[in-house]
Amino acid sequence: DGGITQSPKYLFRKEGQNVTLSCEQNLNHDAMYWYRQDPGQGLRLIYYSQIVNDFQKGDIAEGYSVSREKKESFPLTVTSAQKNPTAFYLCASSGGQGQETQYFGPGTRLLVL
């Protein structure tokens, strides 16, 4: 089955710790995205990548970092600089190059201990 997988489903972070959320897709999509979802605020774009080895900041990139070394993978690191990391994180991908429909993974919920 083609799709997007995110792991883990739940992640706990201790103060001062960096944590990495995984996102993998086997849809052969060029573009990948990370969104943060907070209650009552919809989804906000953190980072996106339209092609391997290239990525751009979204609207709320501070305290986060990403890499795009492989087409199918777009991991997100929540650094200790992100002071309010508790949220639901969603990864998405799209074909890019005018194919703008984004498909979403099941999400990772990050909680602070």
Partner 1 sequence: AQSVTQPDIHITVSEGASLELRCNYSYGATPYLFWYVQSPGQGLQLLLKYFSGDTLVQGIKGFEAEFKRSQSSFNLRKPSVHWSDAAEYFCAETYNQGGKLIFGQGTELSVKP
Which chain residues interact with partner 1 by CB under 8 A? 4, 6, 31, 33, 40-45, 48, 50, 56, 58, 88, 90, 92, 94, 96, 98, 100-107, 109
Nearer to partner 1, 82 or 93 (CB): 93
At its nearest, how many Å lie between partner 1 and the CB of residue 98? 7
* Residue 55 tokens, joined: 């990525």
Residue matched to tokens 């009552």: 40
At its nearest, how many Å lie between partner 1 and the CB of residue 34? 12
At its nearest, how many Å lie between partner 1 and the CB of residue 48? 6
Residue matched to tokens 């990864």: 91
Nearer to partner 1, 4 or 19 (CB): 4
**How far, CA to CA in Å, does 65 sit from each of 1, 75, 82, 89?**
29, 9, 10, 14
Cα angle 26-6-39, degrees, rounded to a multiple of 5:
130
